[in-house]
Amino acid sequence: MPKKIDLALRERAVRLVREHRSEYPSLTAASAAVARQVGVGHESVRRWVLQADIDDGTRDGVTSVEHAEIKRLKSENTRLREDVAILKAATSFVRGEVSTPATDDDGFHRHDESRRPRGRVDLPGPA
């Protein structure tokens, strides 16, 4: 599970990469240099910068706010699908389309007028 990085550290790393990007041949090189300074992985810093560019509108892509909304909607959609499945099953049960599962107890625990209760007297034994 990924560890949580302090938001202030993340913002500082993004700011440092943006300030010193022109001093390096690529975004990856700038990210690696800043990552060593702040003590996190260089790929994490590079992805933070890319996401910050998307959030600022300087790069095309899904913003963080949009991503959070999509994630929330997918979760809600899954929950609603489960609710619909439960309601369909309940409706078919109430209509009698689905019966209760059969039991192997042969009516032992149910009240049956045609059968009298069994006791010791009814058990087969030596005659």
| 11: amino acid identity, one letter | E
| Spatial CA neighbour of 49 closest among 22, 13, 9 | 13
Asked whether residue 103 carries a pLDDT value surpassing 70, the answer given is no
Q: 14 in a domain, yes or no?
A: yes
Q: 107 in a domain, yes or no?
A: no
- Three-state secondary-structure class, residue 125: coil
The predicted-structure confidence for 60-79, as pLDDT tens digits, reads as follows 999 999 999 999 999 999 99
Q: Are residues 50 and 67 in the same domain?
A: no
Q: Are residues 13 and 52 in the same domain?
A: yes
How long a stretch of residues is the chain?
A: 127
Q: Are residues 12 and 50 in the same domain?
A: yes
Residue 83 has φ and ψ, to the nearest 5°, of: -60, -40
pTM of the model: 0.61
* pLDDT confidence bin for 94, thresholds 50/70/90: confident
The predicted-structure confidence for 12-32, as pLDDT tens digits, reads as follows 999 999 999 999 999 999 999
Structure tokens that stand for 99 in this block: 């019966």
**Domain region containing 50:** 7-61
Q: Are residues 51 and 67 in the same domain?
A: no
Q: 38 in a domain, yes or no?
A: yes
Q: 125 in a domain, yes or no?
A: no
Q: Are residues 49 and 86 in the same domain?
A: no
* pLDDT confidence bin for 104, thresholds 50/70/90: low
Domain holding 27: CATH number?
1.10.10.10
Domain count of the fold of the chain: 2
